[in-house]
Structure 1
Amino acid sequence: MCLAVPMKIISISTDRATGSADFDGVKRDVNLTLIENPCVGDYVIIHAGFAIEKFNVEEAEKQLEIFHELAEAMEGQK
């Protein structure tokens, strides 16, 4: 099973096809070719290494809060 993760674009290559994104200090190289006009600071959903959707800061904050709650719940099950 794959999971789509909300991440913030932190750098973009000169050809604008790839970049780096961050989620809570975890950085990943990502492919940006599937989204229109990616910019540093944009929040995107990453799936299988591809940015598949761009969304606003408010929605990103909601998504990140859900991920943090999920991580806390999973940690409590150990």
Structure 2
Amino acid sequence: MCLGIPGEIVEILPDRPDLAMVAVSGVRRAINIGLLDKETVAPGDWILIHVGFALSKIDETEAKAALDFLESIGQAYDDEIAALRQSMIEQG
């Protein structure tokens, strides 16, 4: 199962404005935010992530509700977090 997972933007990478460092359940990864070109995003904003790409900007309430739901489904969420831990987007 592939899930969209909420993450909080920690930093927009200065040398790669199409990438943001995002925190998801204790995991920090560079995420491509290029699909959000019509949105203004900044540290503290929440985004919905799927396979290393930000699909949309969401509000914190929606993010928290989604995280609560995802954590409640157990193994599928654990598998997605494990995949996120192993993923890497080249930054340089």
User: Which TM-score tier does this pair reach, normalised by the shorter chain?
Assistant: 0.7 to 0.9
2:61 corresponds in structure 1 to 58
Q: Quick check: which one's helix share is greater?
A: 2
Q: After the TM superposition, which residues 62-77 of structure 1 pair with which residues of structure 2 at under 5 Å, given as runs? A: 62-71=65-74
User: In the TM superposition, what is the alpha-carbon distance from 1:57 to its structure 2 partner?
Assistant: 1.0
2:6 corresponds in structure 1 to 6
Cα distance in structure 1, aligned partners of 2:65 and 2:3: 17
User: In the TM superposition, what is the alpha-carbon distance from 1:2 to its structure 2 partner?
Assistant: 2.8
- Normalising by structure 1, we get a TM-score of 0.81
1:21 corresponds in structure 2 to 22
Equivalent pairs counted in the alignment come to 75
- Report the residue type matching 1:38 in the other structure: V
User: In the TM superposition, what is the alpha-carbon distance from 1:34 to its structure 2 partner?
Assistant: 1.1
Identity of aligned residues (%): 31
Cα distance in structure 2, aligned partners of 1:2 and 1:67: 12
Write the deviation string for residues 47-76 of structure 1: whole angstroms up to 9, x where unpaired.
Answer: 11110110111111110110111127x88x
- Normalising by structure 2, we get a TM-score of 0.70
